[in-house]
A and B are shown apart, each in its own frame.
Chain A
Amino acid sequence: DAKTTQPTSMDCAEGRAANLPCNHSTISGNEYVYWYRQIHSQGPQYIIHGLKNNETNEMASLIITEDRKSSTLILPHATLRDTAVYYCIVRVATGFQKLVFGTGTRLLVSP
């Protein structure tokens, strides 16, 4: 079973920040938070991951709460091409590459 819970869907206006929340209250100390997204009919695409510090890359920012029980993915300036299903996953960074995907959040970016 997935170890994360996410809202089923969210809307965002183009050019605005999209903030996607994720709850992972049972996360273990050695588990990272990973975010992937899947644009319709394509394979999932890695976005970002983090352990306990906030992370930023060219695609997004990841804010993890101090108790690590939840996190937020931030797309600072959403575009129409960011419309996708976003998956929040927790896993260890080493070992088996199994990912347990939940149902994800369907983000719709509108003009």
Chain B
Amino acid sequence: KAGVTQTPRYLIKTRGQQVTLSCSPISGHRSVSWYQQTPGQGLQFLFEYFSETQRNKGNFPGRFSGRQFSNSRSEMNVSTLELGDSALYLCASSTHWGAGLLAGAQNTGELFFGEGSRLTVL
């Protein structure tokens, strides 16, 4: 089955602009989370969505936002771009949130990552 799809793969923006990144999870996956990866800070958690609701948020400014649609697809938006926002933005999907092993579901807690969207801010 198809993996996690992120679009666009590469994009270049200038300071002050905004950007919207898209993520299509694996079919049947309802949880989508976003991560930012930079050489200096490594992989950092942005936020997680499940059933169209944000369930958890990392330590990023309000310029970073996201949403999830009824088909589980997710978008993240960064407004008023800064040079430091240049990064690889990764989306990951998972089958469950909160159900897990206690519910007997086959949830290993495994996340499936997409290839990422590489954003360059000039």
User: A-side interface residues toward B, CB under 8 Å?
Assistant: 32, 34, 41-46, 49, 87, 91-104
Contact = CB atoms under 8 A, between A and B. Distances in A.
Contact of A96 (B44, B48, B113): B48
Interface residues of B, number: 33
Contacts of B42: 101-104
Given A43-B90, A43-B114, A93 B58 contact: no
B24 interface: no
B65 to A, nearest CB: 17
B92 A43 contact: yes
Interface of B: 4, 31, 33, 35, 42-45, 48, 55-56, 58, 88, 90, 92, 94, 96-102, 107-116
A95 B112 contact: no
Contacts of B88: 41
Contact of A44 (B43, B99, B100): B43
Given A34-B109, A43-B90, A43-B116, A94 B99 contact: yes
